[in-house]
């Protein structure tokens, strides 16, 4: 299964955070097209959410086109490349923005950021 | 589903519940919080019918039989001299249960011949819980039991509770002090103070209505403060009611809060009020 | 849940039974012979512990749940409060009933020899009383001590009200506990001809407030506030018990025994009507006197007054009514004997009234002499004046000598010793007689074997005037109302001797010639003689066991050994239990079919009184 971290301190509603996290899983490829998502009851028990909340998560995902709900058998991942690429772009930018904000809040300068960026990205390449 | 009208409870001369009006819908998960002595437990027990009101009434929708209502409390006893088996038989007889699912008890490794008085607190809570869920309850009242059981059992309890909720679309009304494990579950929060409900809001909405400012100095009086706390060299201000205009008008960082923090600030505000009224 | 309650009660009952059986067993083994049979010890133990059992059953409705900390659970169950109450009461009621039945059976089956009937009934009464009251207080507190205390208080209230109900009626209306049907002490001796209805009604009226308040207050019972509950309980209890008190007083008032009145016709033709609650005097024109404190009885008359006694719970008052002025005066009072009613033992001689004062166990304690002229009372202890061992002393005569009065008293040993008691308390022995002595015409009649000895009483003792021999002992009929000891001269006196087989033979003793002659044609049954104003009347009456009432049939005059019919009374058509007749100096009063008729004596003239037409 996958790990979902929900920040209870955020005022973003829990169901949105959860849906977002699942979207991240799908976008990252960890959840593939055709994978079966856990039943509502099981997911609720694992991440300690009200089953209604989980149901809302799945219906939100279905509305946004990530998930297909088949009556009697559960929820399945639906993977549409194009859309995802667009979404991926938006998500990446969002995560990046959050990251920059956080580093700036610690007191890093733009120069520090660039240097560190180089270091860590190159480091990854070298692996 | 449950309609509470003008409910008042008095113990002797003391008013414990003061003309409470509230409704609960099917499938809701409501948590009631507040300072010690606010009347939360009494409220729950009055809803259940254990305490009788001096005025007002609690009305349940027709179609809800009392057999489908479960009640659990940290002070709930059970017949101490009964064995678990006797307790199960008793409960089954009263609630006309066809069978009793003892998986939970087996999970705990409990021998049905043990007497209730020989159970540990956690075991007792889970025993009562297993009795209550065997009723296939449509409504559950749970009073402050989470803090009495160990973390492992807490998780067991929560998992079973969520399963029950999913299976029977149970309406759950809890009284809670500790929030960490169930932060993400309640849909609605009620805060009580002096026998009255001072806050009744969905969990989503309340998070948007209360924020925290950390500041070393005083903050402008225009910002509505529920509660102020001095932490080391700076102050925490809990702002309520918060609106997005405040973020635009004032150059402070309004931080989001967890439910625990929100409730703590409401209770803190209560104690501040009390101190002021006592003149200290 | 009913099952659980039954199990609890069963456990408690077994403990009780175990103790009741076991402790006497232990005692018996340890003390062996000194304490009686096992059954005796067991039965007594069972009787007393029964009361504790009933209280415990009543009190233990809610405390076991509380002590097991299961109250929240019990009241969260899908039962209404009333149903919970019923489920708790039924097993306990059953246990209480069964153990009572056992008590009853044990009593009938041997307990009768061990305890008195009154003890059985009082235990039964308290048993159910305590159960009901303890039940009513079972929800009012959290510990056995407190609810027990409340029960005791409640029981006290019940008992106080229970005694107050009849006393209120008696204060207002006169009478006594017996007439209002609530003489509890005699109730507990229970004679089943006694009317238990007032008793049961009062118990019910005073008991129901407890139970009703309990049930209604419990319906609103919530855990955690005993204060609320007790307030609710009192709000119901106070008005209910007040109502119960009023209603029970009303019932007792309505049901009080209203005997039909008794009557006495005075020599000057005044009618005295007396009932347990009041006495009235009527003249021809109507009521002349009303005395509402109670009824008089034991009438005795002299020229100016009618004397009578009036009893309260503790005393007997000697009163007199002035025949002309119709006023009532109290002459004196003595403690009321608990057993005997003072029918024929008061004596009047000249201006003295002599009354024997009885102990509660019927022993004569003293003579009380009331001087009606000087209005003084003198009390002489029998221990001081009578020789020891005088059984059943009776004043049978009186006379005077040298201006001082003396009384003639006989007792019973194996014969009848006679003494003379002077008004100053000194006594003189006058010997013995084989049979009861009499005193007429200032002559003492004593008996030795078949000889009748007639003597005069002088200051030096007895002086025999005559000895008469007869083949059988003659029992002389006093024929006066024994109450008045006239020194009047009689011409004749009548007596009876008994034939073998019980047949009575009347004789006449001429008091001038001392000749005894047989008297014929005197009816032997339902017949008595009465001397009124010097004339001896014979009264033939009718009384049948299955026919109601006493009826006057014929009135005769007995003169010189012959019965002369004065009047024959027709048989009434509707005979009632209340039919009776009274004969006194003034005349005859007859009540037949609830109607009254009056005749004067000696003329047998019909009399009329306004209010009795």
Domain CATH for B38: 3.40.50.300
Q: Are residues B258 and B226 in the same domain?
A: yes
What is the structure's pLDDT at C341?
Answer: 54
Q: Count CB-CB contacts under 10 A for residue A99.
A: 11
Q: Do residues B39 and B168 both lie within one domain?
A: yes
φ, ψ for residue B67, nearest 5 deg: -70, -15
Residues on B contacting A at a C-beta cutoff of 8 Å: 27, 29, 158-159, 162-163, 165-167, 181-187, 203-204, 207-208, 211, 255-259, 261
Predicted pLDDT at C569: 87
Contact list in B for residue C76 (CB cut-off 8 A) is 48-50, 71
Q: Please give the residue of chain C at the shortest CA–CA distance from B70.
A: C76
Inform me whether the pLDDT recorded for A90 exceeds 80.
no
**Residues from chain A contacting residue B165 (CB–CB below 8 Å):** 50-51
The SS3 of residue C9 is helix
Residue among B54, B65, B77 minimizing CB distance to C72: B77
Closest CA to C244 of C200, C198, C208, C197: C208
Chain C hits for B73, Cβ within 8 Å: 72
Nearest to C354 by CA among C398, C293, C312, C313: C398
CA C309 to CA C543: how far, in whole Å?
28
Phi-psi label, residue C463: left if phi above 0, alpha if psi -120 to 50, beta otherwise: beta
Q: Smallest CA–CA separation between C52 and chain B, in Å?
A: 25
> CA C262, CA C279: separation in Å to the nearest integer?
9
Domain boundary among B162, B186, B202: B202
Contacts of B90 in chain C (CB under 8 A): 1, 4
Residues B8 and B35 in one domain: yes
What integer pLDDT is reported at residue C479 of this predicted model?
59
pLDDT-derived band at A7 (thresholds 50, 70, 90) equals confident
CB pair distance less than 8 Å for C69 and B77:
yes
pLDDT 10s digits, C247-291: 988 888 877 766 678 898 888 888 898 887 788 888 888 888 888
Residue C357 neighbours by CB under 8 Å, 6+ apart: C334, C335, C337, C364, C365, C366, C367, C368, C379
Q: What is the distance in angstroms between the Cα of C144 and the nearest Cα belonging to chain B?
A: 19
Q: How many domains, chain B?
A: 2
Q: Give yes or no: residues B165 and B223 share one domain.
A: no
Going edge to edge, which strands form the sheet with C347-349?
C347-349, C352-358, C364-371, C376-381
Length of chain B (residues): 280
Q: Which stretches does DSSP call E strand in C220-351?
A: 262-265, 271-274, 279-283, 286-291, 296-301, 305-311, 315-322, 328-335, 347-349
**Residue C185 main-chain phi, psi, to 5 deg:** -60, -40
Any residues with CB less than 8 A from the CB of C86 and at least 6 apart, and which? none
| Beta carbons of A50 and B185 less than 8 Å apart | yes
Considering only CB atoms, C228 lies closest to which of B11, B66, B90, namely B11
Six-digit token pair at C597? 């008729």
If you measure CA to CA, which chain A residue comes closest to B187?
A: A50
For chain C, the distance separating the N- and C-terminal CA atoms, rounded to the nearest angstrom, is 71
Sort B272 into a burial class: Cβ within 10 Å, 0-12 / 13-18 / 19+: middle
CB contact under 8 A, A48 and B208: no
The arithmetic mean of pLDDT across residues A46-53, rounded, is 89
User: Residue B257: closest CA among chain A residues belongs to which residue?
Assistant: A9
Q: What pLDDT score was predicted for residue C342?
A: 52
Are B168 and B226 in a shared domain?
no
Q: How many CB atoms lie within 10 A of CB C531?
A: 20
Does any CB of chain C come closer than 8 Å to the CB of residue B49? yes
pTM of the model: 0.68
Contact B77, C69 (CB under 8 A): yes
- Alpha-carbon distance A92 to nearest alpha carbon in chain B (angstroms): 23
pLDDT given at position B188: 92
Q: How far apart are CA C244 and CA B145, in angstroms?
A: 49
pLDDT value at residue C613? 65
The tokens describing A103, both together, are 């580093």
- For an interface test with A, the pick among B158, B166, B178, B204 (most A C-beta atoms closer than 10 Å) comes out as B166
Distance from CA of C11 to the nearest CA of B (A): 13
Residues of chain C under the 70 pLDDT cut = 32-33, 35, 172-181, 183-195, 222-224, 257-259, 313, 337-344, 359-363, 389, 478-488, 546, 613
Question: What is the distance in angstroms between the Cα of B16 and the nearest Cα belonging to chain C?
Answer: 11
Q: Select the residue from A8, A10, A15, A74 to test the B interface by mutation, using most B Cβ atoms within 10 A.
A: A8
pLDDT for position B152: 87
Would you say A66 and A22 are in contact if contact means Cβ atoms under 8 Å apart? Answer: yes
CB contact under 8 A, B10 and C225: yes
Burial of A101 (0-12, 13-18, 19+ CB in 10 A): exposed
Give me the residues of chain B with pLDDT under 50, please: none
**Element containing residue C337 per DSSP (H, E):** none
> A72, A44, A45: which is closest to A57 by C-alpha?
A44
Are both B146 and B175 inside the same structural domain?
yes
Q: How far is CA A26 from the centre of its chain?
A: 7
Q: Which chains does A contact via 3+ CB–CB distances below 8 A?
A: B
Q: Does B42 touch chain C (CB under 8 A)?
A: yes
- Please indicate, yes or no, whether residues B76 and B179 belong to a single structural domain of this protein: yes
Task: Choose among A8, A45, A51: nearest Cβ to B184.
Answer: A8
Partner-chain contact B78 C75, CB within 8 Å: no
**Which residues 6+ apart lie within 8 Å of C389 measured at CB?**
C411, C413
Question: Do B80 and B124 belong to one domain?
Answer: yes
Instruction: Kindly determine whether residue B79 and residue C72, on different chains, have CB atoms separated by under 8 Å.
Output: no
Are C120 and C109 in contact by the 8 Å Cβ rule? The answer is no
Structure tokens that stand for A94 in this block: 């969002």
Query: Six-digit token pair at C57?
Result: 């059953």
A57 touches chain B (CB under 8 A): no
Cβ neighbours of residue C349 under 8 Å, at least 6 residues apart? C398, C405, C407, C484, C485, C487
- Contact, C52 vs C60, CB < 8 A? no
A51 near B CB under 8 A: yes
Same domain, B214 and B157: no
CA distances from C89 to C86, C136, C479 (A): 5, 11, 68
Query: Which of B202, B229, B255 corresponds to the end of one domain?
Result: B202
Say yes or no for a CB contact (<8 Å) between C69 and B95.
no
Q: What is the mean pLDDT of chain B?
A: 87
| pLDDT the model gives residue B139 | 93
Question: Under an 8 A CB cutoff, do C227 and B54 touch?
Answer: no
What is the reported pLDDT for C90? Answer: 94
- B101 in the same domain as B232: no
Confidence (pLDDT) at C189:
59
Evaluated on CA atoms C548, C554, C560, C561, the torsion sign reads: negative
Domain span including residue B181: 2-202
* 3-state DSSP helix/strand/coil % of chain B, to nearest 5: 35, 30, 35
Token pair listed for C37: 């049979």
């Amino acid at each position: 299964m996958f790990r979902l971290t929900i920040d209870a301190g955020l005022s973003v509603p829990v169901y949105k955070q959860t849906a977002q996290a699942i979207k991240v899983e799908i976008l990252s490829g960890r959840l593939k097209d055709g994978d079966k998502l856990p039943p509502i009851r099981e997911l609720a028990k694992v991440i300690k959410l009200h089953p209604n909340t989980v149901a809302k998560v799945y219906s939100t995902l279905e509305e946004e086109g990530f998930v297909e709900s088949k009556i009697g058998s559960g929820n399945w991942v639906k993977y549409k490349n194009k859309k995802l690429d667009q979404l991926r772009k938006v998500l990446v930018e969002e995560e990046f923005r959050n990251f920059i904000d956080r580093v700036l809040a610690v007191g890093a300068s733009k120069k520090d950021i660039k240097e560190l960026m180089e270091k860590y990205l190159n480091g990854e390449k070298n692996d | 589903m449950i309609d509470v009208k003008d409910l008042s409870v008095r113990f002797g001369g003391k008013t414990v519940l003061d003309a409470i009006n509230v409704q609960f819908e099917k499938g809701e998960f409501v948590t009631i919080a507040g300072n010690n002595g606010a009347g939360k437990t009494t409220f729950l027990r009055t809803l259940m019918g254990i305490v009788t009101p001096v005025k007002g009434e609690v009305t349940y929708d027709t179609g809800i039989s009392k057999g489908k209502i479960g009640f659990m409390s940290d002070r709930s006893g059970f017949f101490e001299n009964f064995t678990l088996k006797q307790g199960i038989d008793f409960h089954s007889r009263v609630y006309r249960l066809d069978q009793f699912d003892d998986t939970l008890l087996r999970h705990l490794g409990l021998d049905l011949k043990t007497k209730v008085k020989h159970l540990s607190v956690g075991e007792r809570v889970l025993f009562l819980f297993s009795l209550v869920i065997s009723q296939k309850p449509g409504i559950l009242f749970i009073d402050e039991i989470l803090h009495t059981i160990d973390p492992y059992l807490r998780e067991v309890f929560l998992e079973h509770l969520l399963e029950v909720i999913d299976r029977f679309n149970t309406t759950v009304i809890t009284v809670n002090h500790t929030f960490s494990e169930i932060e993400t579950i309640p849909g609605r929060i009620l805060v009580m103070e002096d026998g009255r409900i001072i806050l009744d809001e969905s969990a989503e909405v309340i998070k948007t209505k209360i924020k925290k400012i950390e500041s070393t100095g005083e903050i402008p009086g225009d910002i509505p403060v529920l509660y102020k706390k001095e932490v080391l060299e700076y102050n925490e201000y809990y702002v309520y009611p918060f609106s997005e205009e405040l973020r635009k008008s004032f150059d402070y960082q309004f931080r989001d809060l967890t439910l625990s923090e929100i409730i703590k600030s409401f209770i803190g505000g209560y104690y501040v009020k009390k101190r002021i009224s006592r003149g200290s | 849940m009913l099952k659980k309650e039954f199990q609890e009660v069963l456990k408690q009952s077994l403990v009780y039974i175990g103790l009741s059986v076991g402790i006497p067993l232990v005692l018996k083994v340890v003390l062996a012979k000194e304490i009686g049979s096992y059954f005796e010890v067991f039965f007594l133990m069972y009787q007393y512990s029964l009361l504790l059992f009933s209280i415990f059953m009543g009190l233990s409705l809610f405390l076991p749940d509380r002590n097991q900390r299961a109250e929240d659970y019990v009241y969260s169950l899908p039962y209404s409060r009333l149903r919970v109450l019923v489920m708790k009461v039924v097993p306990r009621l059953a246990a209480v009933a069964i153990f009572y039945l056992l008590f009853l059976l044990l009593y009938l089956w041997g307990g009768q020899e061990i305890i008195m009937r009154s003890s059985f009934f009082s235990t039964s009464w308290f048993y159910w009383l305590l159960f009901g009251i303890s039940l009513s207080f079972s929800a009012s507190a959290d510990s056995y001590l407190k609810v027990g205390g409340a029960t005791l208080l409640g029981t006290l209230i019940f008992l106080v009200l229970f005694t107050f109900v009849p006393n209120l009626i008696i204060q207002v209306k006169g009478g006594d506990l017996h007439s209002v049907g609530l003489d509890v002490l005699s109730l507990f001796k229970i004679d089943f001809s006694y009317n238990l209805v007032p008793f049961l009604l009062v118990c019910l009226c005073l008991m129901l407030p407890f139970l009703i308040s309990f049930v209604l207050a419990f319906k609103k019972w919530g855990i955690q506030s005993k204060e609320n509950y007790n307030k609710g309980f009192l709000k119901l209890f106070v008005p209910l018990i007040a109502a119960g008190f009023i209603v029970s007083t009303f019932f007792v008032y309505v049901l009080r025994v209203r005997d039909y009145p008794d009557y006495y016709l005075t020599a000057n033709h005044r009618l005295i009507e007396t009932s347990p609650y009041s006495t009235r005097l009527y003249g021809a024109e109507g009521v002349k006197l009303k005395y509402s404190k109670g009824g008089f009885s034991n009438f005795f008359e002299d020229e100016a007054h009618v004397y009578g006694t009036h009893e309260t719970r503790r005393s007997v008052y000697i009163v007199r009514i002035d025949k002309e002025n119709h006023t009532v005066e109290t002459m004196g009072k003595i403690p009321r004997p608990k057993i005997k009613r003072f029918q024929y033992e008061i004596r009047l001689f000249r201006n003295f009234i002599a009354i024997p004062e009885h102990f509660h166990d019927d022993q004569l304690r003293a003579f009380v002499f009331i001087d009606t002229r000087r209005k003084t009372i003198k009390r002489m202890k029998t221990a001081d004046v009578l020789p020891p061992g005088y059984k059943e002393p009776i004043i049978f005569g009186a006379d005077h000598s040298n201006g001082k009065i003396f009384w003639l008293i006989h007792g019973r040993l194996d014969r009848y010793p006679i003494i003379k008691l002077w008004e100053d308390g000194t006594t003189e022995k006058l010997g013995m007689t084989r049979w009861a002595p009499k005193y007429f015409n200032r002559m003492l009649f004593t008996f030795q074997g078949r000889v009748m000895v007639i003597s005069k009483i002088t200051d030096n003792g007895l002086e025999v005037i005559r000895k008469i021999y007869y083949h059988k002992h003659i029992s002389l009929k006093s024929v006066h109302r024994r109450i008045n000891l006239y020194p009047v001269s009689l011409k004749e006196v009548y007596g009876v001797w008994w034939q073998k087989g019980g047949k009575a033979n009347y004789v006449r003793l001429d008091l001038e010639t001392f000749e005894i002659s047989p008297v014929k044609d005197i009816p032997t049954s339902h017949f008595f003689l009465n001397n009124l104003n010097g004339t001896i009347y014979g009264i033939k009456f009718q009384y049948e066991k299955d026919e109601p009432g006493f009826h006057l049939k014929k009135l005769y005059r007995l003169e010189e050994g012959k019965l002369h019919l004065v009047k024959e009374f027709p048989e009434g058509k509707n005979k009632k239990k209340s039919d009776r007749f009274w004969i006194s100096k003034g005349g005859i009063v007859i009540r037949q079919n609830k109607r009254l008729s009056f005749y004067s004596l000696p003329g047998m003239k019909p009399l009329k009184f306004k209010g009795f037409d």
